Homo-oligomer: A and B are copies of this chain.
Amino acid sequence: MLETSKRPKIVIVGAGFGGLSATRELADSPVDVTLLDRQNYHLFQPLLYQVATAALTPAEIAAPIRGILRRQRNATVFMDEVCGVDTGAKEVATTSGRRIPYDALVLATGARHSYFGQDGWAAFAPGLKSIDDAFALRKKILLAFEQAEMSASEDDAYREAQQTFVVIGGGPTGVELAGAIAELAHSMARDFRRIEAEGTRILLVEGGDRLVPSFDPALSDRVMKDLASLGVDVRLNTMVSEIGDGFIEAGDERIRAGTVLWAAGVQASPAANWLGVETGRSGHVPVTDTLTIHGHPEIYAIGDTAAHVPKGAERPLPGVAPVAKQMGIYVGRRLARLARGKAPGGAFRYLDYGSMATIGRNRAIAEIGGLHISGFVGWLLWGLAHVYFLIGYRNRLFVMLTWLWSYVTWQRGVRLITGRE
């Protein structure tokens, strides 16, 4: 795995939770780490929906990768995009035309949206994975209100459509987005002269028979009640059959909506293609219990890139931040031991500390061990946990202040429509 006489070269692709954790674990090891990412920042994706709904600025939930690794002298960061892996020559190929040799390779390239084969829907129902996505969504949402205000008293059907927001997918992201849009509409009510907050209609469409299915059914019920109290119209057991410019077809109904947002499905990044590995429909790379790909003990796949089925389990671990982080730490430590000629240690084991989702002000659910927490206490817990897991003191301080400010004033400060056409 690290059978090299020189200082081993470790290439890590992706600076999300997985790749960054692996890099940091190698800080004191006699290795050279090259960390590659398409972006120059690490993004705290769990709060990305708050950028899309004008609650936080991108700078509050992102940190420059170089800044995070400033003191880690054995790590070199390149902003470059990987487009292939030569497993024979042990080289990674990038879109800038570089070939970077490795002794060990860690693929932590995350996930992207999946439209279940309906790729044409992407243009009408954007998803939320990157800061650019969040900017685009924020622009779309805020412009819809502007258009509604302008067209009020001219064209009522158009105004109604502009004030209709459809979120597709009832997982944590969909629930959080729908709640946040409802709160945004309320916070802006007094800013408009010709439209009413009550005129805003938010639909959450879910194919299954309950929201947030990864949680206990009691918490799904709680989410339903919380969303209802915010005025969100939840449609369960409803499949979307078509999405076009300004409308969706769901169940038997055609709904005019100025804004349609996709929170329904993800698929793994194309890492499997680079490796020539067979995958399931969602593109995740199957890994061994040490998170390496079959036949290549020097190549690791972690986080959303990997499909890791724990012993005795039926389904792979979910694509959430704690899984990616724990996998990154595991691989980092394993490589550190190998670099010092030690035994690499045992198989990867995931410790599930629980999960959380927020629906809005004073509303959240948390499932920790057997414990169910909701309401204000759940919301406080949610906030503290998310601030704690942010990278950097600056981001923690500013996110806390921004939330405090919004909580006290009921206002959103980041309502900027930016980005050229």
A149-B78 CB under 8 A given contacts A131-B416, A191-B66: yes
Interface of A is mostly: mixed
Decide: B67 and A411 in contact? CB cutoff 8 A: yes
Whether A150 touches B79, Cβ cut-off 8 Å, given contacts A59-B413, A191-B70, A394-B413, is: yes
Closest B residue, CB atoms, query A392 = B413
CB contacts (< 8 Å) of A58 on chain B: these are 57, 416, 418
A32-81 interface with B by 8 A CB criterion: 39-41, 57-60, 62-64, 66-67, 69-70, 73, 76-80
Stoichiometry, as copies per complex, reads 2
For A78, give its contact among B150, B188, B397 (CB under 8 Å). Answer: B150
Which residue on B lies nearest to A76, using beta carbons? B193
Contacts of A96 in B (CB 8 A): 150
Chain A contact patch, size range: 35 or more
Q: How far is the CB of A134 from chain B (nearest CB, A)?
A: 9
Q: Which residues of B contact A78 (CB under 8 A)?
A: 146, 149-150
Whether A417 lies near B59 (C-beta < 8 A) is no
Smallest beta-carbon distance A71→chain B, Å = 8
Bound together, the chains give a CA A60 to CA B135 distance in angstroms of 16
| A58 vs B178: C-alpha distance when bound (angstroms) | 25
Contact indicator A417/B39 (Cβ below 8 Å): yes
Say if the beta carbon of A295 comes within 8 Å of chain B: no
Chain B residues with Cβ below 8 Å from A281 are none
The reply to whether A416 and B194 contact each other, CB–CB distance below 8 Å, is: no
* In the complex, chain B residues whose CB is within 8 Å of the CB of A409: 394
Which residues in chain A, 361-402, are within 8 Å of chain B measured between CB atoms? Answer: 394-395, 397-398, 401-402
Chain B residues near A142 (CB-CB < 8 A): 40
Q: Which residue of B lies closest to A78 (CB)?
A: B150
Q: In the complex, which residue of chain B has the Cβ closest to the Cβ of A56? A: B59
Give the distance to chain B from A266, nearest Cβ to Cβ, in Å: 20
The answer to whether A98 touches B416 (Cβ under 8 A) is no
The answer to whether A40 touches B417 (Cβ under 8 A) is yes
Per-residue contact bits, chain A 78-109, to B (CB 8 Å; 1 contact, 0 not): 11100000000000000010100000000000
Chain A residues within CB distance 8 Å of chain B: 39-41, 57-60, 62-64, 66-67, 69-70, 73, 76-80, 96, 98, 131-132, 135, 142-143, 146, 149-150, 188, 190-194, 394-395, 397-398, 401-402, 405, 409, 411, 413-420
Known: A59-B413, A66-B192, A397-B401. 14 other contacts (CB 8 A): A40-B142, A41-B416, A57-B59, A63-B413, A64-B415, A66-B415, A67-B411, A70-B190, A80-B150, A96-B150, A132-B419, A394-B405, A394-B409, A398-B398
18 A-B contacts (beta carbon < 8 Å): A39-B417, A40-B415, A40-B416, A40-B417, A57-B57, A57-B60, A58-B418, A66-B192, A67-B415, A69-B191, A76-B194, A78-B150, A79-B150, A79-B417, A80-B150, A395-B413, A397-B401, A401-B401
